[in-house]
Structure 1
Amino acid sequence: MKKIIISFLICLTVGIYISGKIVSNNVTKNFKLLNEKVQSSFKDGDIIFQTSESEQCEAVRIATNSKFSHCGIIFIENGQTYVYEAVQPVKMTLLSEWIRHGRENRYVVKRLKNADKVLTKSVLEKMKTYGKTMNNKNYDLYFEWSDEKIYCSELVWKIYKEGAKIELCKTKKLKDFNLKHPLVQEIMKQRYGTKVPYDEEVIAPSQLYDSELVETIFDNY
């Protein structure tokens, strides 16, 4: 009798394990298919946001009162979906790789509200052509408004401005942001020393996110 009970328990345990593994595999497969379906709906010109893991990114998030510290613009080339982003240097990054760089793989995608009418094929070509003039440029650690170097939200804003003749939002001055937090103060000291360019024109990821011209099409935060 004891052997029968033990055998039953072993079979039950194995059965639960196999069932659990099947369920887990199905969940993973379904999630992957859903993820692929969502990402296949993204279009040229969509703007994508995430939070990256670094002191500077955390300082940006704090200074701009936002959960986001990084953004890029989606471009589709030869059937592949990329994020054109200003890192070091400015480059095209596969969407799947870009997502992995963010905190917990979380991100938000926004789209111009009237994109289907405004972002025509010719306009998108102009945006991409202008964007390519920034390719391989160094990342701008000092957040200057020149084109010599470029930072993430500046890249997206200028691609829309120069390629589509659309200002997604108004620029701000550096002094308009929350600069009192200790981490922000430390990063600013590292970057500028005692000569902080408070009147420098700036575009932050949060400004693009809050633009009245765009709407959310995906959000897994």
Structure 2
Amino acid sequence: MKKFILVFVLLVTLAGCNKPLTKEATLKRMDAQEGKIDSYSLDMDLSVKVSALGQKNNSAVEMSSEVDRKNNAYSIDSTNADGEELEFIIKDGKAYLEDRPGVWKKTAKVDAKEFSNQADYSVPLELLGLVSEDLEFETTDDEYHFMYDGYDKKLYKTLKKYYNISFTGFDTEDDLTITMNVSVDKKTFNVKEMVTKVIGENKKGKVIVSIDSEFDNFNTIEKIELPEED
């Protein structure tokens, strides 16, 4: 009888240890994990679809980055809406653009700020924090999922700051809807993907801005150095 009771108590204890984390506890673990991230890679796609006043227009920007947080350095390859490919290296607020293969030239500091802001791992954590009370939360075998659907003024302003989006001709509070889905690795509490859409719709038409960010290769990126300027 004593053996049975001991086994029963052990099973109950183990079951308690495996109790799923709450939304709030998961967010806290993610915030704590951020301090352990020294480097990572990011693939980001930003697209705009416009259907207004009888016209349709689509454009997209792609960005692939390696980020060395420990040394405040970024290596960024981007393709703009015109299909032009650009390569930047940013360190300590200085930005260099590859003018032609193997030849680097210093570029405007505004480029350094804009690109480094967009590639910063803290962005999804900040966005989640702004609407934490309104987030839906689900758990799968390998991931935690946070979902948001609605409109929050601070959230929109923060997205606008990081991604330079605008909705001319729309009432931002009445015409806009924001959806956000963030996937988090269950073992490491690292963000794996953030998919955000800002949708503007009124009688004049519809505009959809989509931002898809995928994070990977945590703490495996080699030190990024500034190139020699030509």
TM-score (norm 1): 0.24
Larger strand fraction of residues:
2
Q: Which has the larger radius of gyration?
A: 1
